[in-house]
Amino acid sequence: DGEMAVIGGNIREKIIEAIKNDNTISATQLAELLGVSKRTTERYIKELREKGLLERQGAARGGWWNLKV
């Protein structure tokens, strides 16, 4: 569905922008910021990680995101 691809692209862009602004932001905080479920956020994060665009550094709590964009 073309519309879903556009929505997905917007969420991906917003996740990248949010991480650029605060690389310690959590998936829960991203979900709240974007108005989507935590599960949706985690799915997009997984996709960005698999594409090599995003990496998690440090501990699960207290870690940070490393953008490769």
pLDDT at position 9, please?
A: 76
What are the tens digits of pLDDT across the range 5-53?
556 678 999 999 999 999 999 999 999 999 999 999 999 999 999 999 9
CA torsion angle for 68, 60, 26, 5 (degrees, to 10)? 50
| CB distance 19 to 67 below 8 Å | yes
| CB distance 31 to 18 below 8 Å | no
Strand positions, DSSP E, the chain: 54-57, 64-67
pLDDT at position 1, please?
A: 45
> What's the token pair of residue 61?
């709590």
